[in-house]
Structure 1
């Protein structure tokens, strides 16, 4: 794998840290900017909405830009809005920086996906995708807990400064190491051709599965802290370690799935999806047993991110005629799941079903994805048998 892929992963690490770090900073932000905790919590929703809307929109606008230039532009904007966020005393300005930062993050990830797969052979998209998304998993392992620690020691602004500082070497690394120029990239497909490619039934199904699986992942991840403290019975001091354990599992899952996603994607998706569904059920049932719960947190992180990263690579395989837009829509689909999953888990808790209920919701979402996939593949098999579909 090219070294430049690792450098792209560094930038993704900084952006992933920014996306998830506010979960531990909301109370501090609310006190400092004199707003309510729910209002400060809207900063997380604003970022998620910005990712969903921005991914396809910015990917479409950037499709004819030189890739290295686009990556640098997005990184500069991302770095700048974190500096502004660290300096501002206005909640409205901070909210605006989250939306703009999400657009920059979405555009960077969409272009980085097509850049990454362009650096490797045509049959190695899964490995390239797994290396790139390793930055997101490392953000869960190290970036988010570190942001929480910095926020606790020096205030929430320190976490914003840290993201800006990590983005700076990523900016230099991308400028020096990512191939650029028309010879390195080739001419992009015509817009009409890319849009036609997006109508591929295989792509639509893959995006749906990605949203459901990622929704399941973040439904439970968002409420791991109360699950651990209220159901498992561990102290609040265990929470950062449990979050890091989930992140460590996700890194292992992405790395392992990347070795098989290109050669045996159906086996990874079917086997991993079924195992993830069973694992969520076991976690819901066994959350009261600390050793079992901690082991399942690691396993579910591995299965969830392994299946999720494989679905992203399959989205790129499903729309070879729309490399940038397919990456943008894949990014949007995952963030639809990241937004709806926590909402569904919160609704279950609010309805009085307790802190195990988000885990059951996660199991249901993966089961729904599994049923949808089987139904679509079964229908296609029947059409092929009847000579209706190729």
Structure 2
């Protein structure tokens, strides 16, 4: 009898072991195998969130098949206490092990929301965007001009999120005054600005910032970047340029920046002004005249009057010889490169061609013919259509 009981017990024990082994194999497969996601999702880990709360959230979002297995795997791997606050993009079919790695490695959030404060020539605007995990592209949530309207509620709510990413983007050709005035309205920054940085000294680019960053520190970063860019490009400049210092090249770059928004034209536009300087011709460029009137504090918003073209200022290149005394905006890298490595041409004139670009001429007669064509295009554009 006892022999039969022992035999049955042994058989039961073997079946239990087989069952446990099968259960472990199944759990291991569930933990390491492809997950159930058919498209990527954004998973947010709240600050101080427990492993239980995170695993339940993952199961509710369909990222994992079983929250208990995820917790067991996290404990077994020693990562149960390593969850990092933030928002993370979990790709389709990600295994539990891969998801746990994403949530414990830390670093910058890979999805969620971001704010981009775009400082342009005419105005600045704050854009709140959110990543759409389905196509891994950001979609606009809300956009507003902080100088003209109150912050909308979606932005106010998002600004409270600890893992919200912040960026400031300077457009090419923006003036230093505009940058400072815009930064003053950036409520997510801190500190005061004692003085407007010299015109041309700020590098147009995108800057990743932290909430509460000092405005003065950010401006110093922009200046350091522009200084490094100018030094790098000055070292590889072409021979025979009609300016002797990097500062003069920066003035030329700012003029090129304001004359054309087409990257492919910049070196050709620079060649026109360099040819004029080499022939002791006045630059005769409207953007410098406008800067002499506005001092870079806003846009003129209309065409120049004849009286303004005759008004004597240090920036009126219809009246002064050579370059104006300072840059007239903050030029980008491409315009600095154009000023230091221009095309080799015989062009002395250019005028708009009606397509957003310009047509160039070697002689005044050719230029006058091009101007006449442009005037006809202008008249046609302003004539009311029946």
Work out whether the TM-score is over 0.5. Answer: no
More strand as a share of residues: 2
Q: Which has the higher contact order (CA 8 A, sep 6+)?
A: 1
More helix as a share of residues: 1
Structure-1-length-normalised TM-score:
0.23
- State the structure with more CA Rg: 2
Structure-2-length-normalised TM-score:
0.23
